[in-house]
Amino acid sequence: MSTPEVRIGVVGGSGAAGTIVRPLVRERGCENVRYFASARSAGRQLDGRVVEEATPEALSAGDVDVFLFSVGTSSSRELVPHAVRGGAVCLDKSAAFRLQDGVPLVVPEVNGERALEHEGIIAVPNCCAIPLTTVLKPLHDEAGLRRLRIATYQSVSGAGAQAMERLRAEASDAHDLRQDWEFDGEEFDEEEKLRAETRKILELPDLPVSATCVRVPVLVGHMASVWIETEAPLSAERARELLAEAPSVRLEDFPTPGKSAGRDDVLVGRIRPDRSGETGLTLLLACDNLRKGAALNGIQTMELLLSRQALAA
């Protein structure tokens, strides 16, 4: 089955990530595409197509090969099993299934072969874990990872379309850093997710990872400052060579969210020795969190499955 022939369902196509999924599937040659959404959005037109209601009956009808889910965690938990029951493969960008045993958590450039082990559901990682692991993979293959410390600076689009509208309406002197995730008294759940997902994607279950996440008044583009301790010495020069050859990575002297917006690559730069340790590096990365950090990752995973003729659950 080729990309133009595959029957695709986009669930949640009017949200912040969904608005990126729709043009991407068209750009990449997908022709047989249907849109599904809640009852509130059903019946409206998007890109000349009538939006269908995402009911259990519609999703389990068996007339869609791949569903790209861009909805919230609770909606995914409710709807994805029905789509799988209908024989579709579901690529879900919510947190619903990411850490569930037996569900592959896939970044194609890092662990794409894991997608072939699916039983109907493939999870799309967190929008910070995708660029982070894309950059870490070649460094780990070369020198081994011993420890990670991460500080993220995440745009408001990561909190959804309504958060973007609030920022647009907000006076500039009201802009501030925020930490708007669930808090357990010690850690925000975003920090815990970044640690757990990084370990699962890299298949390093005991890797020490410490993260601090904040929301910044930027519409699109997440940034991270990363301190890496390696098992073997790794010079900044060698790291640059490795990253220059890495898939979906582009070297940039000074990566920023603005420079990453609209791009398919993860930008990485400021690669230098970590002066606080003997075998460490520090670097900056930036990524369009809606594009490569969500929509494109799922579509690339779908393309990988199609290329291996492995759509059957």
Q: Kindly list the catalytic residues.
A: 127, 222
296-307 vs 18-27: helix crossing angle, rounded to 10: 40
Listing DSSP states for 192-224 in one string gives HHHHHHHHHHHT-TT--EEEEEEE-S-SS-EEE
Asked if residue 70 lies in contact with residue 10, where contact means CB atoms within 8 angstroms, the answer is: yes
Tokens matching residue 151: 């500080």
Write down the residue that tokens 């559901």 correspond to. Answer: 121
d(CA 83, CA 58): 8
d(CA 138, CA 150): 18
d(CA 179, CA 233): 35
Give the neighbor-by-neighbor strand order of the sheet with 222-230: 209-215, 145-154, 222-230, 280-287, 266-273, 249-251
d(CA 84, CA 303): 18
d(CA 39, CA 57): 13
d(CA 13, CA 67): 11
d(CA 221, CA 203): 26
